[in-house]
Structure 1
Amino acid sequence: MGILQPHKSVLKWLPIFFLFFCTATAHAQLTLHKSATLAELQAALQGPGLTLSNIKITKGLTGHQYGTFNGGLDSAGKGPVIGIPDGIFMTTGSLTSLLGPNSVPDYSGVTPDPPYVDQDLVSISPYAKFDPVIIEFDLIPTGDTLNFVLSFGSEEYPEYVCSQFNDGFGLFVSGPGFSTRNAAFIPGTSDAITINHVNNGTAGIRADGTACTLGNSAYFNDNGNGSGNANLQLDGFTKPITAPLAGLTAGETYHVKLALADSGDGNYDSGTFFKWLNSTDSHPVDLELTTVASNMAPVKNGTVAITYTLTNTSTTSDVEQVQTLLEWPAGISILNQDGEGSYNPATHVWSTGPIGALASTSITFNVQIGQEASYTASAEILYSDHEDPDSTPFNKATFPNEDDTASVTLTPSEAPHVTLKVRGLLQGPYDNASGLMQDKLRQQGLLPQTQPYALLGHNGTEMLSPAVAALEDNDAPTDWVLLELREQTNPAIRVAASVALIQRDGDVAEPQTNETTLHIPNVEEGRYYVTLRHRNHLGIMTATPLQLSNTATTVDFTLPETAVSGKHSRLLESHAALLWAGDVNSNNSVIASGSGNDLNAILGAILSHPENILGNSNLRLKGYLDGDLNMDGMNIYSGPDNDVNLLRANVLQYPDNGNGAANYIINGSLPE
């Protein structure tokens, strides 16, 4: 084996950090789960076409040297990221050996275990026996090929490249058809995953003449040497390395060992992030991924459609399943999607069913962008049940031009827009005691996901995000509202419109982000009337046109002193002004009796409902219904909590109805 050269601790003073003091498990986006159970480790390793069992930890300190991770694609700031979304981590030190920032050039943790020789691991790095972590399990593949992805990194970089301090990682497989085989190599080579085989291409200042390879720098991320890069402590780590292991027999059981260790001594920690991908059939197909945007220069805060298309260019082979990972940059919000297959918003994976030879499948996302100079949305094929010779998952950073990767860069334009902050209160759900509106529609899951104002002439694509729908307390959404800008010389003409949510406290908010500063695109700075409308309340409009620009103008319709168009256009309470409830049929009036009255609209919906076989007027209908004036989720014509009494009371007590006539018509103030 040769004579080991002096330990690194002799060469220079080395700060030691005892890992039983390390309690941090997350830094910014990357999160390490140190308490992962065996079942959770197994689940993180399980991929399509694989059945795993009998997982065990042969070596490694529980709570410190292994676990699961997520957030590997996300950046906390300056510096490269792992490039693997989730999986398991292994380290020869501690969690803080991995977590950024890169604060020191020579971080080390100390484990209490003595050296341990794993014969397979020392076959690729003779002195790799310090601080080992070894995970073993069995698997049964459905195909004849296994595929996996890893990122290996170390504090040994860059000083100890080409030395005997050659920390390494191995993935050893044994079973039917072959003896133990290391499957972790630099793609296209026989170079194992060690310091001396993958590096920045330059021998380190502590090189001792040990044989090394300096030609694999394309797979290497230089993370500085204590430079403060944000995402990882490790001074260098590989770009995601994806490699297959062929020659297996489908349906047979194979034993797998993941092994990592320091070489020479226990100083200068190393780590591996690992994700088992899948098992595939080696019968080849050729898949191609493309993307296109409906507008490469959409307006800032505007919307754009992005379409991804998967094409099977094979002339004879079908594929049964394909998974594609979509990466959305910060500042892009998905409004909705439409197409073939399914999309998981939690994992950002688009899964398709069978794609025949020379066939294709597509999915389109309508997204809203922000105000950055550019946004790049990208995607990469992760899996198909057949091998694709020119497609390698997770390697787009190394080989960005493979046809399994597609991206589109949007450069938002400075189109004209105006900005508003609007407040209002709806009489129906308003509670005088709290000064808030109720949110029973949200609580019961009755708020529609898409905007409901097509009947009022708005055909926008606004959608309610799950995060906003889950909000509680004062910011919880009460209902959808329609915000309009009208022409200053003829307020009957609508210049622009946007549908938003009205919160319990009256703030009008963007339905995807809950942002109360609203951007109305494609509107020049100028003077406009501002209106706030609701599906069963009378709308309200400012008394005069307001000067609007890209600096937010506040319009607070809840304040009695805010000047509005029309006489008695709002119900004035002691401390707030409310929109009148009762315009069930959206004709800009509230009518209790006579032609076109709103009570008949409530009754008609109840009598004509399929469940109302006997035609009972006291049937209580649950749902998102225009006749539900108090917005409790029930449309009620007669009996307790009915919606009719509110409407009648408004007509009888309206300030201009001096005689209390039941057939009085409350006309709305919006010009038509």
Structure 2
Amino acid sequence: MKLKRVVMAVGSGVALATMATIPAQAVLLVTPSDSPTTLVSNIVGSGITTSNLSYTGAAGASGTFTGGTSAGIGIDAGIILTTGNATLAPGPNDSLEAGVDNFLGGDSSLDSIAAGATQDASVLSFDFTTDTNDVFLKFIFASEEYPEFVNQGFSDVFGFFVDGKNIALVPGTTTVVSIDTINNGFNDNGIDAQNPGLYNANPAGANGLQYDGFTTAITAQALGLTPGNHTIKLAIADVGDGFYDSAVFLKLNSFSSTNPDATAVPEPFTIVGTLIGGTAALRMRKKLKASKKA
């Protein structure tokens, strides 16, 4: 069992403590929503059509957000799925153990990649088609389990399952993203750190975010899908107990058929125009030099 205790618990109707009031200076704004239409419409981008939308989980565990860039998380707007309560996400980071136990069940897909039984699952599922046979989604994972439970056998779990296969992975690997695979070591001591370049510590008192640590923005991808309908399940859950919230932030309109990280290639006419303009400017400079000599 984890040594630290949860701030509050709901579901039984008994609150262990009152949720802290979000201060006026917080720039991250979270609006709770369990509407699958609202959630999906805030992440779907170009080249994607969707159908059969569904959400399961606590009503307050998910929602939309804005102000992420000002809060320092690297994604400005989109949706949030949590293992507890989404309104705990805005800073300041005034608790090492912020969380809500919703006393709900887990998810079988998450059970398959977790180190223990899951609970308090928040799951957004829908069917989709993609006009390129590829699909991409940009996200950030954040957790109150950072940094004191890194490599201690306690790790909440999340995944993006396209036709049953998880694509929420450490870039360039087949490794699931968690506090144990992206971190700066136990208690941020740098020892046995895993992919520290993808990790951000969030010190106590920081205004932007409540969670004690979070990843950089990562792009999940599924390439070479067959034409036609596919299914995606976006899910996050507690593992082992219902304490210490974790969250995944999904970028606005980033569930798309083209890579949001791809560098735009100039249109041919733009390149030609630049070359012509440069040549004309060079001729003009030569004429000016010649007139000065004369």
Place the TM-score, normalised by the shorter chain, in its bin. 0.7 to 0.9
Equivalent residue for 1:191, pick from 169, 175, 178: 175
Report how many aligned residue pairs link the two structures: 261
Q: Cα offset for 1:249?
A: 2.4
What letter is aligned with 2:173? T
**Cα shift readout 1:208-249 (whole Å, capped 9, x = no counterpart):** xxxxx833111111002xx11001110000111112211212
Equivalent residue for 2:202, pick from 220, 223, 228: 223
Give the TM-score, by structure 2 length.
0.80
Tell me which residue corresponds to 1:403. Answer: none
Aligned-partner Cα distance in 2 for 1:57–1:43: 13
Aligned-partner Cα distance in 2 for 1:256–1:163: 31
Pick closer, same or farther for the CA change 1:249–1:17 going to 2, 3 Å: same
Equivalent residue for 1:35, pick from 30, 33, 36: 33
**Cα shift readout 1:263-290 (whole Å, capped 9, x = no counterpart):** 1111111111013331039xxxx846xx
Tell me which residue corresponds to 1:61. Answer: 58
Equivalent residue for 2:238, pick from 262, 267, 273: 262
Greater fraction of residues in helix: 2
Q: Is 1:109–2:100 an aligned residue pair?
A: yes
What letter is aligned with 2:99? S
Equivalent residues of 2:75, 2:217 under 8 A apart: yes
Tell me which residue corresponds to 1:149. Answer: 138
Pick closer, same or farther for the CA change 1:57–1:37 going to 2, 3 Å: closer
Equivalent residues of 2:64, 2:79 under 8 A apart: yes
Q: Cα offset for 1:39?
A: 2.1
Q: Cα offset for 1:35?
A: 3.4
Equivalent residues of 1:144, 1:280 under 8 A apart: no
Give the TM-score, by structure 1 length.
0.36
Equivalent residues of 2:159, 2:168 under 8 A apart: yes
**Cα shift readout 1:32-85 (whole Å, capped 9, x = no counterpart):** 111363322121021001111211113x111x100111111123xxxxx12112
Q: Is 1:92–2:88 an aligned residue pair?
A: no
Pick closer, same or farther for the CA change 1:52–1:361 going to 2, 3 Å: farther
Structure-to-structure mapping, 1:373-392, within 5 angstroms: none
Q: Is 1:181–2:162 an aligned residue pair?
A: no
Q: Cα offset for 1:22?
A: 5.2
**Cα shift readout 1:365-393 (whole Å, capped 9, x = no counterpart):** xxxxxxxxxxxxxxxxxxxxxxxxxxxxx
Equivalent residues of 2:22, 2:91 under 8 A apart: no
Tell me which residue corresponds to 1:234. Answer: 211
Equivalent residues of 1:125, 1:194 under 8 A apart: no
Aligned-partner Cα distance in 1 for 2:167–2:263: 25
**Cα shift readout 1:472-491 (whole Å, capped 9, x = no counterpart):** xxxxxxxxxxxxxxxxxxxx
Pick closer, same or farther for the CA change 1:361–1:199 going to 2, 3 Å: farther
Equivalent residues of 1:127, 1:164 under 8 A apart: no
Q: Higher RCO, 1 or 2 (CA under 8 Å, sep at least 6)?
A: 2
Aligned-partner Cα distance in 2 for 1:36–1:96: 13
What letter is aligned with 2:97? D
Equivalent residues of 2:156, 2:238 under 8 A apart: yes
SS in structure 2 opposite 1:106?
Answer: coil
Aligned-partner Cα distance in 2 for 1:15–1:36: 23
Larger Rg: 1
Equivalent residues of 1:25, 1:95 under 8 A apart: no
Equivalent residues of 2:93, 2:207 under 8 A apart: yes
Equivalent residues of 1:44, 1:88 under 8 A apart: yes
Equivalent residues of 2:7, 2:97 under 8 A apart: no
Equivalent residues of 1:151, 1:239 under 8 A apart: yes
In structure 1, list runs of 5 or more residues that go unmatched. Answer: 1-6, 76-80, 175-179, 206-212, 289-310, 313-354, 363-672
Tell me which residue corresponds to 2:271. Answer: 359
Deviates more, 1:99-108 or 1:30-39: 30-39
Tell me which residue corresponds to 2:284. Answer: none
Tell me which residue corresponds to 1:203. Answer: 186
Tell me which residue corresponds to 1:165. Answer: 154
Tell me which residue corresponds to 1:588. Answer: none
**Cα shift readout 1:563-598 (whole Å, capped 9, x = no counterpart):** xxxxxxxxxxxxxxxxxxxxxxxxxxxxxxxxxxxx
Equivalent residues of 2:6, 2:244 under 8 A apart: no
Q: Cα offset for 1:123?
A: 2.0
Equivalent residues of 2:30, 2:89 under 8 A apart: no
**Cα shift readout 1:614-653 (whole Å, capped 9, x = no counterpart):** xxxxxxxxxxxxxxxxxxxxxxxxxxxxxxxxxxxxxxxx
What letter is aligned with 1:145? D
Tell me which residue corresponds to 2:280. Answer: none
Equivalent residues of 2:139, 2:219 under 8 A apart: yes
What letter is aligned with 1:267? F
Pick closer, same or farther for the CA change 1:110–1:148 going to 2, 3 Å: same
Equivalent residue for 1:133, pick from 122, 134, 150: 122
SS in structure 2 opposite 1:193?
Answer: coil
What letter is aligned with 1:234? Y
Tell me which residue corresponds to 2:47. Answer: 49
Aligned-partner Cα distance in 2 for 1:36–1:26: 24
What letter is aligned with 2:75? I
In structure 2, list runs of 5 or more residues that go unmatched. Answer: 275-294
Tell me which residue corresponds to 1:328. Answer: none
SS in structure 1 opposite 2:183?
Answer: coil
What letter is aligned with 1:137? F
SS in structure 1 opposite 2:68?
Answer: coil
**Cα shift readout 1:414-444 (whole Å, capped 9, x = no counterpart):** xxxxxxxxxxxxxxxxxxxxxxxxxxxxxxx
RMSD: 2.7
**Cα shift readout 1:335-393 (whole Å, capped 9, x = no counterpart):** xxxxxxxxxxxxxxxxxxxx23883899xxxxxxxxxxxxxxxxxxxxxxxxxxxxxxx
**Cα shift readout 1:490-547 (whole Å, capped 9, x = no counterpart):** xxxxxxxxxxxxxxxxxxxxxxxxxxxxxxxxxxxxxxxxxxxxxxxxxxxxxxxxxx
Pick closer, same or farther for the CA change 1:232–1:127 going to 2, 3 Å: same
What letter is aligned with 1:218? G
Q: Identity rate of aligned residues, in percent?
A: 35
Equivalent residues of 1:145, 1:247 under 8 A apart: yes
